[in-house]
């Protein structure tokens, strides 16, 4: 409860439902654009590997790459057309 209160976690699940909830959450992550998921993982790794300034620069490059991708354009089109996006990982 303390971790939730201070923002270290987004939600708490019961022991009985942990596997089901983990699979639901994993599915939610996997439904995002592959480049965005990859960039999020790389961002976390950058903060572990580099200084804060170097990590921020690397993350800015990752964000730019995501915004320049075909998947970003597809996501915007899909949102405007009120349909599920069809990401290609490009």
Residues 19 and 39 in one domain: no
Of the candidates 77, 55, 45, which has an alpha carbon nearest to the alpha carbon of residue 87?
77
Digit-coded pLDDT (tens) for 22-41: 999 999 999 999 999 999 99
pLDDT at 22: 94
Tell me, yes or no, whether 52 and 66 share the same domain.
yes
Query: What is the Cα–Cα distance from 81 to 15, expressed in whole angstroms?
Result: 40
Q: Which structure tokens are listed for 45?
A: 């790794």
Same domain, yes or no, for 48 and 67? yes
Tally of structural domains, the chain: 2
47 and 78 both lie in a single domain: yes
Share of the chain residues as helix, strand and coil, in percent rounded to the nearest 5: 70, 0, 30
What is the CATH number for 79?
Answer: 1.10.12.10
> What's the pTM value of the predicted model, to 2 decimals?
0.69
Q: Are residues 38 and 65 in the same domain?
A: yes
Range of the domain at 25: 1-31
Question: What's the CA gap between 35 and 32, in Å, rounded?
Answer: 8
Q: Is 35 exposed, middle or buried (0-12, 13-18, 19+ CB in 10 A)?
A: buried
Give per-residue pLDDT as tens, 41-74. 999 999 899 999 999 999 999 999 999 999 999 9
Please indicate, yes or no, whether residues 27 and 38 belong to a single structural domain of this protein. Answer: no
Same domain, 52 and 78: yes
Do 39 and 83 sit in the same domain of this protein?
Answer: yes
């Amino acid at each position: 409860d303390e971790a939730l209160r201070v923002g270290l976690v987004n939600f708490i699940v019961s022991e009985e439902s942990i596997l089901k909830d983990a699979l639901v959450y994993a599915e939610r992550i996997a439904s995002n654009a592959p480049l965005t998921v990859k960039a999020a993982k790389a961002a976390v790794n950058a903060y572990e590997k580099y200084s804060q300034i170097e990590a921020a620069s690397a993350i800015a490059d990752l964000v730019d790459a995501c915004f320049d991708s075909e998947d970003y354009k597809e996501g915007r089109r899909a949102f405007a057309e009120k349909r599920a996006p069809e990401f290609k990982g490009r």
